[in-house]
Structure 1
Amino acid sequence: MKKLKDYEIGIAKLSNRTHKYEFTLNDDFFEEFGKEIILGGKLKADVELDKTESLLTFHFDITGHVRLTCDRSLEEFDHPVDVQATFRIKYGEENAELDDDLWQITPNTQTINIAQHLYDYIGLSLPMKKLHPRFVEEDEEEEANDQDILIYTSRTDAGTDEDDDEDDTDPRWDALRNLN
C-alpha cells in the first residue's frame, strides 16, 4: 500500500481551476492489487482535475498496454489499453458513494487517492474473453459463422397465426385467466 501513496492528490490547498497530473502505471502498481486479472503493464495516465467550490471533476486518459493471460492457451500477452473516463466528487455531510462515477466527501477531506479508480477503469476496458492476438481472428470467424445457425426453437410449426396459438394453450393457464 505504500506504493499507492504516489497516487494521492492533495485537494485541500488546490485553487479553483484546472490542475493536470501525470502518473506512470507499471508492474509495481499492479502488484498492489494482486495478479488475478492484470499481471503487469506499462501505462501513462493523464489526469485533469477541474476544481470548483462544490465539485471536483477528474478526467482520466489512460494509454499503454497491460499483460494478460490468454484464456485459451494460458500464454501471457500484451493487450493495448486506451481509456477515457470521467469521475466526479461533490462535497456533502458524509463520505458516500452516490453512483459509479459520483462520490460525496466531507469538506475537511485533505487528499484523494485515485489508484483504485485507475485500476478499475483499466479493468473495465479489458475484454471478457482474453485471447492472444493470434487467436482473435480465428475467434471472430467462428462468431460470424455461429450467427447464422439456429440453435433451438420452441415452436413446432412456424406458419401459424396468433389466433391458432390460443387454441393450443395449456388448460391450466385457461383456468388461471378465468380467475380475474
Structure 2
Amino acid sequence: MLASINRNFLGVGLACMWLAIAPATAVAQTTIDRGSAREAQAMVDRAIALYDAEGLLAFRTISQEPEPDFRDRDLYVFVFDQAGFMAAHALFPQFVGVNSVNSRDIEGKMYVREMIERASETGVWVDYVFLDPMLGEPAPKSAWVVWHEGFLFACGIYAGEIGI
C-alpha cells in the first residue's frame, strides 16, 4: 500500500515539475528560433556585399537560392528600388517586379513608402505589421533598412527584440 502511495506521489510530483518546466522550455525554444536585430543587420550587410561584388545578379541569388546568408528562420532579405519596385525577396520571390510603394499593413500604415522616405546609408529601423512566417499570421515587425547605390536593402525581425 505504501509503495502504491509513493508511486502516485512520484507521478504527481513529476507531472507538476513538467508543468512548471514546459512553458519555460517553450519560451526558450521560441527565443532560440527567432532571429535577432544584430543578425538582421548582418544579413543586410551580406546582401550589400554581394551586390557590390555581383551587381544586379545579386538580386537573383537573393531571390532564388535557398541561401542561409539571406534567409534563416524568420529572417529574410528583401530589396526595393527607389520607386518601390521589389528587386529581390528571399522568402517571397513572387513579389519581385511588383511595385509595393502604396502597400499598407493591416493597420493601414504605408510601410514601404515609410521605408523609402526614412532609409539612410547608415540604416534605420521601421516598424509595421507583416505576416510572420513562423506563426503564419500577421505580427509586429521592425525592419532594418539601408540605402545603398539606389536600392533599399532590408531585413526584419518580429516583435520583441528592439522593443516593438
* Fold similarity call, TM over 0.5: no
Give the helix-richer structure, 1 or 2.
2
> The TM-score by the shorter chain falls in which range?
under 0.3
Bigger CA radius of gyration:
1
Give the strand-richer structure, 1 or 2.
1
Q: So what's the TM-score if we normalise by structure 2? A: 0.25
